[in-house]
Structure 1
Amino acid sequence: MARINWKPGNMIFPVPAVLVSCGNRENGYNLITVSWTGTICTNPPMCYISLRKERLSHEIISRDREFVINLSTEKMAKATDWCGVKSGRDFDKFKECGFTAVPAQKVVAPLVGESPVAIECRVSEIKELGSHDMFLAEVLSVSVDDQFLDGSNGAFDMGAAGLIASSHGKYCGLKEPLGHFGYSVKKPKKKSKKPSRKKKPQRS
Structure 2
Amino acid sequence: MEVDFTKLDQRDRYRLLCSFVAPRPIALVTTLDKDGTSNAAPMSFFNVFSQDPPLVILGIQVKPDGAPKDTITNIRRSREFVVNMCDMAIAQQMVDCGINFPQSVDELEVTGLSLAPSRQIQPGWVAEAPCAMECRVAQILEYPRRSIVLGEVVQMHVRDECLDENGRYVRPDKYQPIARLHADNYIVSDDQFELLPTAALQSARTA
TM-score by length of 1: 0.80
- Percent identity over the alignment? 23
- 1:94, CA displacement in angstroms? 1.2
Q: Which residue is 1:19 aligned to?
A: 28
Query: Which position in structure 1 is the counterpart of 2:154?
Result: 140
Task: Look at both structures and tell me which one has the larger radius of gyration over its CA atoms.
Answer: 1
What is the deviation of 1:79?
1.0
Match among 34, 50, 58 for residue 49 of structure 1:
58
What residue in structure 2 maps to residue 6 of structure 1? Answer: 3
Change (3 A) 1:50 1:151: same
* 1:36-75, Cα deviation, whole Å (9 max, x unpaired): 1112222111111111242111111110000010000112
Q: 2:186 aligns with which of 162, 171, 178?
A: 171
**Other-structure match for 1:63:** 77
After TM superposition, list the pairs within 5 Å mapping 1:24-173 onto structure 2.
27-53=36-62, 54-87=68-101, 89=103, 91-151=105-165, 154-169=168-183, 170-173=185-188
Number of residue pairs matched?
182
Segments of 5+ residues of structure 2 without an aligned counterpart are: 6-12, 63-67, 201-207
Runs of at least 5 residues in structure 1 that lack an aligned partner in the other structure: 188-204
Using the alignment, how far apart are the partners of 1:27 and 1:131 within structure 2?
A: 26
Alpha-carbon RMSD across the aligned residues, in angstroms, is 2.2
Q: Which residue in 2 is equivalent to 1:197?
A: none
Q: CA deviation at 1:159?
A: 3.3
What is the CA–CA distance in structure 2 between the aligned matches of 1:186 and 1:88, rounded to whole Å? 57
Q: TM-score, normalised by structure 2?
A: 0.79
Q: How far 1:90 sits from its partner (Å)?
A: 5.3
